Structure 1
Amino acid sequence: MKIKYFEYITVYLSVFLVCVFVGIIGRLVLLEKGADEYTAGVFFWISTGFGILMFAILSLFLNDLAERLVNRFLKVKKNESPESQIPTEDLEKIEEQQQDVLIKPEIPENNNAVIDIQQLREERENAVRNQKQARIDNAICYAQQEFALYASDDDLKQLGRNIIIYAEGLNYEKIKPVKVKDLSNLDLYHFGWNIWNCFKVSRQDRAAQFLKLTFADALKDVEQNSIKTHLKDDEQKGLIKIMEDFTDL
């Protein structure tokens, strides 16, 4: 890049010196012919500037002409290249084959990839299903521990079935009431919040409805909205406490 700039400076400086030299010669000739200093000086600058201007115009014209000649020469060479000697029909076929390779990659003959994806999907679904079932089992175990002293065996089994209905989001018409003794409404509220917190499959108003239907006798005088607003009252009071996680029991 520096060599190219040096060449430009050399060329333009040479032209400038030549124009100045021509202007000086013209000025001396005018002075010998009897012209005054002012006229000779004006001629000097005009002749110098005219020479530089003519060189610039010729440079632009010659550069453009040279560029056209080079482009025309390259175009002729391109037309004579081996690719241009291929028939047009064959060339189109080659281009179509190349596009097919880019757009339509080869698909393996076996379906191992599809089988692997399906297998992964099934394994994932089984893992989710097993995880949900484990939560249901933990919730039933927790309920049996909490109500073992306050409900009969049949009621404990029914409570487990009611928990399954809630966790699976089934119709509440299948819920049957469970009778308990020696437990306050606060205990039942805490139990309901713990079950809701375990699954979080619905809003708390559905958990309140679950409590209202499951403990229909104990909560017969309490409105469902009231149950919802008192689920977490006095967290550490009562026989059943609020537990953030009972899966480790």
Structure 2
Amino acid sequence: MKTKYFEYITVYLSVFLVCVFVGIIGRLVLLEKGADEYTAGVFFWISTGFGVLMFAILSLFLNDLAERLVNRFLKAKKNESPESQVPNEDLKKIEEERQEALIKSALSENKNSARDIEQIREERQIAARNQKQARIDTAIRYAQQEFALYASDDDLKQLGKNIIIYAEDINFEKIKTVKVKDLSNLDLYHFGWNIWNCFKVSKQDRAAQFLKLTFAEALKDVEENSIKTHLKDDEHKGLVKIIEDFTDF
């Protein structure tokens, strides 16, 4: 602080001495031209004071102008992007690396997306298989409960195998006959409709064919078309009733 104060004194004292020197020269010139002492003295003081005043005005103006220019320059330099300070060749290299990074990122995202889609597809397939297997288990459990009193153990097992063939849409050539007793054709029709309703994987024509082949002995005198048209006849009659919902099995 003191150093700056002495700097101001030195500067203004130097200016004052210069102005005095200029005033003395002006005074001597006026005296040589024939001016009187009073006029020369007045010119001396006026020129000295004017010189000091002009320096002070210029000093204030120039300091303010210089400060503004410096601040603007620093602000522009601060806001200048890092890329503008990098040579053109380096800029090209940086841009190429940036594009390569974007491409790698996009490829990685595509791989992850494809992997996610494949995983979702597998999960959906597993869920569908599990759901279908649950229906098959339900149908077999229902058949065993419904025919437990009217078929032997071997026939009950074969009935379960026939249901799997029907549900999996396997060729009916592998279906084997199941023997039952004490059940009417109406009971077998109701059973066929219930199996169709449990899976609903085909038209009722296939359900009628399934019944015709599974209970070939009991339905030997009945045509498939007739079986199809009577699947839901008298749904509240017979030992085997129509079941609309299998959630209880």
Measured against the shorter chain, the TM-score band is 0.5 to 0.7
Structure 1: gaps of 5 or more residues: 1-98
Aligned alpha-carbon RMSD (Å): 3.4
> Which string of whole-angstrom CA distances, capped at 9 and with x for unpartnered residues, describes residues 149-202 of structure 1?
000000000000000000000000000000000000000000000000111111
Q: Is the 8 A contact 1:192 1:231 kept in 2?
A: yes
CA contact (8 A) 1:139 1:247 kept: no
Please give the residue correspondences for 1:56-205 in structure 2 after superposition, counting only pairs within 5 Å.
106-108=106-108, 111-205=111-205
How far apart are the structure 2 equivalents of 1:199 and 1:175? 18
C-alpha distance 100-215 of structure 1, shift in aligned 2 (>3 A)? same
Cα distance per residue 1:73-107 (max 9 Å; x no partner): xxxxxxxxxxxxxxxxxxxxxxxxxx999999832
CA distance in 1 between partners of 2:129 and 2:158 (Å):
23
Q: Tell me what 1:208 maps to.
A: 208
How far residue 245 of structure 1 moved from its aligned partner, in angstroms, is: 1.4
3-state SS in 2 of match to 1:142: helix
Q: Over alpha carbons, which structure has the higher Rg?
A: 2
In structure 2, distance between residues paired with 1:228 and 1:106: 57
Residue aligned with 2:160, SS: helix
User: How many pairs were matched up?
Assistant: 168
Residue identity (%): 81
Contact 1:139/1:198, CA 8 A, preserved across alignment: yes
| Partner SS for 2:221 | coil
Q: Say whether the 8 Å CA contact 1:135–1:247 is kept in structure 2.
A: no
Q: Tell me if structure 2 keeps the 8 A contact 1:162–1:176.
A: yes
2:245 aligns with 245
Distance 1:124 1:242 in 2: 32
Match for residue 228 of structure 1? Answer: 228
Pick closer, same or farther for the CA change 1:117–1:177 going to 2, 3 Å: same
Give the aligned residue type for 1:171: N
Displacement of 1:248: 1.4
Equivalent residue, structure 1, for 2:31? none
Q: Distance in 2 between matches of 1:228 and 1:109?
A: 54
Residues 125, 183 of structure 1: CA spacing in aligned structure 2 closer, same or farther, 3 A cutoff? same
Mark the runs of 5 or more structure 2 residues left unpaired by the alignment. 1-98
TM-score (normalised: structure 1): 0.57
* CA distance in structure 2 between the partners assigned to 1:156 and 1:106 by the alignment: 58
**TM-score, normalised via structure 2 length:** 0.57
1:120 Cα deviation (Å)? 1.6
Supply the distance in 1 between the matched residues of 2:127 and 2:216 (Cα, whole angstroms).
36
Q: Secondary structure at the match of 1:107?
A: helix
